Structure 1
């Protein structure tokens, strides 16, 4: 391929050649296309160029994707909207693998890269202690008393104020304080769907969402995602049109594990689609405060006019992981969720609620999150540099626009099981990517959780991991 061609001309040349192969009958329907790497070598171009060509072909239904398998010529070899997407729901089976992963991560003596928990060095202990000291001096406040659902009234007023920045106007009575974000998500799903229901999810997605679906005996319908813009709205729209979905469950802001931020336009369209189909949405927005100012999108909940979107969040990823204080704004499902909280005695620590109320009231939340974002930006810059210098050529990485969760796609020939073994020998733990997919099947994806200050130890740890990935690739190539 001419190296002086423009990028636009390069991807179109790849696309046109594939179309000719299909139209000529050289590649009949259901023929598997060469791998992305093979096509890149054939045209002497980048993987990104080939991916762009394939994305355009898929959008026009010349080809379709089978997750973790590859690209295939569509059933007719031409545009056929009915064949573009897979609407097969699956039984989720990840809980055992998640428990094993968390147990192993907790036993590591060095650097854990698999747990999405804010490190103690980034937690505002001094400010929280000041708040607790102030509470102790208030004789009229009983911080050891029981605060029943829906939670501490003053904290709910604070949260209602925080929701304004997310585009959501609500009163304190609409806010339910929960024991963390995960409990809020489970309460939400239980309120809107029954056992056996089909839940549309992003793929890959946060394993906690999958565990909740599995625990409640529901099925998952994986919806494809784009590395930068999130859930594929066309895929979801067709699933809704075909009535394949009972509820939509997604994490659109700094998504775990891919880190994307869903666009404002897609959020508005999603809300409209759900309203027209009369389908509830559960929105997990736990990372909102880690998005840089000026780039924060409105919550999907802000477009809700019928009360069918349940918004869930918490302070666990920004302020106090151990406090386990979250909340939900449940719309028309408020009473159903509140009834569950009473029946299961789901009260939240009064001390934690009072401390966070004081913390927000003193203006500490904005101060702390601004510093936290600055520190995480330094980490993100370091990761970008290391991916290019320490990881195998061909590693795909789309830097997140904030937060501390990073998703890498290692080269196709990487032996992931060997990578985990090599990392474990060095006492570094990484999670198997299968826990982020409803069917539990692992890919070449690698999630790195880096909620800690930038340090020589962290740089060294990621460098070692890159070396392990190089070795895992070389071992696979040597035995191929």
Structure 2
């Protein structure tokens, strides 16, 4: 039975009024909002109606909930009507380390790490490729392959890029040690310490870690569940010279799962080109989108070479191989120089296996099967949210992939939820690691890159139970 309340549409009125208060400057960054009860009395509406309006604002990073305290205008909120566009110092590394350490433990169930588990990886197909390579006595499997990487693999990747709307040749592609290394190389190539990086909020913690590690600052740009980065907000920042680089994950975004529409991608590219600001596009989940719904890469709209496109095989084929790539445009030589100076050669065996894997036609075969399995799991997740999670929980099923973003009711104590879930043998990460300032909201990222066994189903029910126990 659907337990999510269905308040009347008066929540739109409440939401619009609160938004005007924030955008007009009446309520500045950091200010505490009136309580839920006060707002309900003001609008002569139910508490559920007010909570629905606040949940929408929180989902789009206008406000932040502090358990047992109330709602506050989000720190660093940059209102498009003329407020200061305040960048922030990133502070998430400690939370990420704690989450990954828990995820590596074999003693508890982890639903926090975005890793494709062995049972969903194409183990048999990869083994065939490995056996075929081993049978070729004249092939030097242990030989070093220097940057930019195995030529035949780069030709295969150029073919994959055509599916993403990007026409490029093997020489345009640099093979990297996974997607994260590609992202770091890209950011170092286009910006220096102290630079301001416009990011989606919330965003993938790996992007935040890279910004933090390189001594840069983040400018959080709010996002919408259906269209991604708010381009009005971004345009306001670009026109005022507040952005040195745009860094985003527009396809099955981690953690919210949206797909930025093609029209918005084209507009983003135009804005960045007009401002002469580079874009770093993290597109690691592309192959998990159904073929009929696939967008063109932002790189498709790049006519100046200022978009750096990064991707990897880690989320689709071989998490342990750590093979990624970037199409670097006018920054190719700068990134290649970094790779040589840091000796960033990529495993020759992993490159050869993936070259064989794609050449045999296994890539399309495997990804089609994987998409079907993940779609079924999204159906399970949606059913659970509607049946066992607390009333007021909001969830939009992603159009592919295995990362699910669940918005728990306002006021949920996320630290208490983590503690209670861990005591029951289930680990989840803090939502704060998806926000540049580390502030905890009520978003919960659930990763299902695995077969849903009775143990996993039990873990999801534990999360729902603990969420209910963590309400004020």
Shared fold (TM-score, shorter chain, > 0.5): yes
Q: Does 1:198 align with 2:201?
A: no
Q: Note closer, same or farther for the CA distance 1:36–1:276 as it changes in structure 2 (3 Å cut).
A: farther
53, 67, 70: which is aligned to 1:50?
53
Is this contact kept in 2: 1:11–1:53, CA < 8 A? no
Q: What is the alpha-carbon distance in structure 2 between the residues aligned to residue 169 and residue 336 of structure 1?
A: 21
SS in 1 for 2:132: helix
Aligned residue number for residue 420 of structure 1: 418
Q: Does 36-45 or 223-232 show the bigger shift?
A: 36-45
Is this contact kept in 2: 1:14–1:53, CA < 8 A? no
Residues 296-335 of structure 1 aligned to structure 2 (within 5 Å): 296-335=294-333
Aligned residue number for residue 82 of structure 2: 82
Is this contact kept in 2: 1:186–1:212, CA < 8 A? yes
Is this contact kept in 1: 2:394–2:408, CA < 8 A? yes
Q: CA deviation at 1:239?
A: 0.3
Q: What is the alpha-carbon distance in structure 2 between the residues aligned to residue 183 and residue 165 of structure 1?
A: 23
436, 443, 446: which is aligned to 1:445?
443
RMSD: 2.8
Q: Does 1:65 align with 2:62?
A: yes
What per-residue deviation string (whole Å, max 9, x for no partner) do you get for residues 279-336 of structure 1? 0000000000001110110000000000000000000000000000000000000000
Is this contact kept in 2: 1:259–1:400, CA < 8 A? yes
Is this contact kept in 2: 1:108–1:427, CA < 8 A? no
Q: What is the alpha-carbon distance in structure 2 between the residues aligned to residue 136 and residue 340 of structure 1?
A: 32
SS in 2 for 1:82: coil
Q: Note closer, same or farther for the CA distance 1:19–1:335 as it changes in structure 2 (3 Å cut).
A: closer
Aligned residue number for residue 257 of structure 1: 255
Q: What is the alpha-carbon distance in structure 1 between the residues aligned to residue 369 and residue 228 of structure 2?
A: 27
Aligned residue number for residue 464 of structure 1: 462
163, 166, 171: which is aligned to 1:165?
163
Q: Note closer, same or farther for the CA distance 1:205–1:175 as it changes in structure 2 (3 Å cut).
A: same
Q: Does 1:120 align with 2:118?
A: yes
Q: What is the alpha-carbon distance in structure 2 between the residues aligned to residue 14 and residue 439 of structure 1?
A: 27
Q: What is the alpha-carbon distance in structure 2 between the residues aligned to residue 211 and residue 53 of structure 1?
A: 27
Q: What is the alpha-carbon distance in structure 1 between the residues aligned to residue 349 and residue 166 of structure 2?
A: 27
Aligned residue number for residue 403 of structure 2: 405
Q: CA deviation at 1:65?
A: 3.3
Q: What is the alpha-carbon distance in structure 2 between the residues aligned to residue 136 and residue 19 of structure 1?
A: 62
SS in 1 for 2:429: coil
Residues 132-211 of structure 1 aligned to structure 2 (within 5 Å): 132-211=130-209
Q: Note closer, same or farther for the CA distance 1:120–1:29 as it changes in structure 2 (3 Å cut).
A: closer
Q: Note closer, same or farther for the CA distance 1:71–1:402 as it changes in structure 2 (3 Å cut).
A: same
Q: Normalising by structure 2, what TM-score?
A: 0.89
Q: Does 144-153 or 110-119 show the bigger shift?
A: 110-119
431, 434, 444: which is aligned to 2:432?
434
SS in 1 for 2:292: coil
Provide the aligned length of Structure 1 versus Structure 2: 451
Q: Note closer, same or farther for the CA distance 1:138–1:209 as it changes in structure 2 (3 Å cut).
A: same
Is this contact kept in 2: 1:181–1:312, CA < 8 A? yes
Aligned residue number for residue 214 of structure 2: 216
Q: What is the alpha-carbon distance in structure 2 between the residues aligned to residue 125 and residue 19 of structure 1?
A: 50
Aligned residue number for residue 289 of structure 1: 287
Is this contact kept in 1: 2:199–2:219, CA < 8 A? yes
89, 96, 99: which is aligned to 2:97?
99
What per-residue deviation string (whole Å, max 9, x for no partner) do you get for residues 373-416 of structure 1? 11101110000010111111111111111100011111123221
Q: What is the alpha-carbon distance in structure 1 between the residues aligned to residue 21 and residue 441 of structure 2?
A: 29
372, 380, 403: which is aligned to 1:382?
380
Q: CA deviation at 1:142?
A: 1.2
Q: What is the alpha-carbon distance in structure 1 between the residues aligned to residue 341 and residue 20 of structure 2?
A: 63
Q: Does 33-42 or 187-196 show the bigger shift?
A: 33-42
SS in 2 for 1:448: strand
Q: What is the alpha-carbon distance in structure 1 between the residues aligned to residue 112 and residue 16 of structure 2?
A: 42
Q: Note closer, same or farther for the CA distance 1:426–1:265 as it changes in structure 2 (3 Å cut).
A: same
Q: Which runs of 5+ in 2 are unaligned?
A: 1-5, 74-78
Q: What is the alpha-carbon distance in structure 2 between the residues aligned to residue 352 and residue 298 of structure 1?
A: 28
Q: CA deviation at 1:54?
A: 7.0
Q: Note closer, same or farther for the CA distance 1:438–1:52 as it changes in structure 2 (3 Å cut).
A: closer
Is this contact kept in 2: 1:10–1:49, CA < 8 A? no
Is this contact kept in 2: 1:40–1:50, CA < 8 A? no
In terms of Rg, which structure is larger? 1
Q: CA deviation at 1:32?
A: 5.9
Q: Normalising by structure 1, what TM-score?
A: 0.88
What per-residue deviation string (whole Å, max 9, x for no partner) do you get for residues 6-48 of structure 1? 99964565578879999xxxx9766865467875794347569
Q: What is the alpha-carbon distance in structure 2 between the residues aligned to residue 339 and residue 91 of structure 1?
A: 29
Q: What is the alpha-carbon distance in structure 1 between the residues aligned to residue 19 and residue 95 of structure 2?
A: 41
Is this contact kept in 1: 2:374–2:400, CA < 8 A? yes
Aligned residue number for residue 243 of structure 2: 245
Q: What is the alpha-carbon distance in structure 2 between the residues aligned to residue 336 and residue 268 of structure 1?
A: 26
Q: Note closer, same or farther for the CA distance 1:34–1:90 as it changes in structure 2 (3 Å cut).
A: same
Q: Which runs of 5+ in 1 are unaligned?
A: 1-5, 59-63, 73-78
Q: What is the alpha-carbon distance in structure 2 between the residues aligned to residue 186 and residue 94 of structure 1?
A: 16
